[in-house]
Amino acid sequence: MKSRAAILRDVGGPWRIETFDLDAPRTGEVLIRMAAAGLCHSDTHILNGHVSDPGRPARKRPPTIGGHEGSAVVVEAGPGVTGFAPGDHVVTSFVPACGRCRWCASGMEYLCDLGAGTMTPGMPTDGTFRHHTSDGLDLGHVAKIGAFAEHTVVAADSLVKIDPALPLVPAALLACAIPTGYGSAVHRAGVRGGDTVVVVGAGGIGTAAIQGARIAGAAIVVAVDPVEFKRASALRFGATHVADSASEAVDLVRDLTRGVMADGVVLAPSLVTATDIGAGLALTRKGGNCVVTGLAAPDTRTMSCDVQEFTLMNKSLHGTVFGSCNQNSDIAALTRLYFSGQLMLDEMITRRYRLDEVNDAYRHLLAGKLIRGVIEF
């Protein structure tokens, strides 16, 4: 069949809207019709070559369909697929869950062994391609998803069935932004009732972290962002205080906690730098947790912090992927929080776009005008 997608041909972009050829799903695969796709900074990192395939220079990447955060309707299930049927509502998962590896069996689906190949072009099922350009080239699809397409074929392991009562457009945020941010606060930072929390970066993931801290019962939530629009927005989602920089936040948090500092810190800027780690740890109390959620540029190999203070103050520094959420249980739990009115999804969508507007949408995102933009198909 033929479909349309936003395709990256060259590092640096732009996204090109093209018609492409799509093969039928094979064993273990599912054909889906996209309903909505969230605009995440990670796709910009891929466009700019900040994230590349293992062992392959960014400039050697094949043409690639963008997008990894999406909601969709199942069109066809391939041979051997028993968990999905035509008409099912689903969200994508950029970290698949095979259910069989050590990590899935240990309750850590977010570390599934299949995730190691998420940036390698080709289908995870057999390494071949289902997506092809109109001029005959094989097409990669970001995170094995390719959500910036009207239709795509993905492995069944990369899909989660959702309640059909959940509106499909806001549901797209459950594919990345919400679990990544919410889980960073609740699962990785371990936020509890009465805690003080700092979230650095108040975009889509940071806003989800702010909501997670609020839902977990944090008493003080400080949102840090240089963009005034995002600081104002953060107050709507649960921040109690705002600051425009980490250095300003240090003095604020010291005053708010009488010198104790924050129980949990989530670092979710659009691009983590070497100095962000030290700044995050400076905001963290003795015995507290600092969580690095944002991605760094590939040439960022070191980080700067006061090592003696880190050791003697018994602080913990954590990485996280997908907010350390398990797709097959946490997405359902987050859905219940949405239905109960505690988790705001619709309100996080600043603006909806058509597929042809994807480059305009990313200009708005990079200009700090969006909490979350969504392509609506």
> Which residue carries 């005053």 as its tokens?
255
Any domain includes 258: yes
* CA Rg value for the chain: 20
- The length of the chain is 377
Do the bridges between strand 372-376 and strand 70-77 make them parallel or antiparallel, or are there none, so unpaired?
unpaired
Question: Per DSSP, what are the bridge partners of residue 375?
Answer: 37, 353
Q: What pTM did the predictor assign?
A: 0.95
Domain check: are 41 and 89 in the same one? yes
Any domain includes 142: yes
Question: What is the phi/psi pair of residue 85, to 5°?
Answer: -140, 155
Any domain includes 330: no
Any domain includes 65: yes
Per-residue pLDDT of the chain (377 residues; tens, 9 = 90+): 999 999 999 988 899 999 999 999 999 999 999 999 999 988 888 888 776 655 555 556 689 999 999 999 999 999 999 999 999 999 999 999 999 999 999 999 999 999 888 888 899 999 999 999 999 999 999 999 999 999 999 999 999 999 999 999 999 999 999 999 999 999 999 999 999 999 999 999 999 999 999 999 999 999 999 999 999 999 999 999 999 999 999 999 999 999 999 999 999 999 899 899 999 999 999 999 999 999 887 777 788 888 888 999 999 999 999 999 999 999 999 999 999 999 999 999 999 999 999 999 999 999 999 999 999 99
End-to-end CA distance of the chain: give it in Å, rounded: 17
Domain check: are 190 and 169 in the same one? no
Domain check: are 184 and 168 in the same one? no
Asked if 52 and 298 touch (Cβ cutoff 8 Å), the reply is yes
Interatomic CA distance for residues 267 and 251, integer angstroms:
18
CATH number for the domain spanning 307: value is 3.40.50.720
Closest CA to 39 of 262, 280, 269, 205: 205
Do the bridges between strand 220-224 and strand 140-141 make them parallel or antiparallel, or are there none, so unpaired?
unpaired
Any domain includes 130: yes
Domain check: are 30 and 44 in the same one? yes
Any domain includes 156: yes
Interatomic CA distance for residues 224 and 128, integer angstroms:
44
Asked if 190 and 264 touch (Cβ cutoff 8 Å), the reply is yes
Closest CA to 198 of 225, 232, 222, 233: 222
Question: What is the phi/psi pair of residue 109, to 5°?
Answer: -60, -30
The range of the structural domain enclosing residue 9 comes to: 2-175+345-376
DSSP letter string, 103-163:
HHHTT-GGG-GGGGGTTSSS-TTTS--SEEETTS-B-EEGGGT--SBSEEEEEGGGEEE--
Domain check: are 256 and 170 in the same one? no
Any domain includes 220: yes
Domain check: are 166 and 184 in the same one? no
Name 367's Cβ contacts closer than 8 Å, sequence gap at least 6.
none
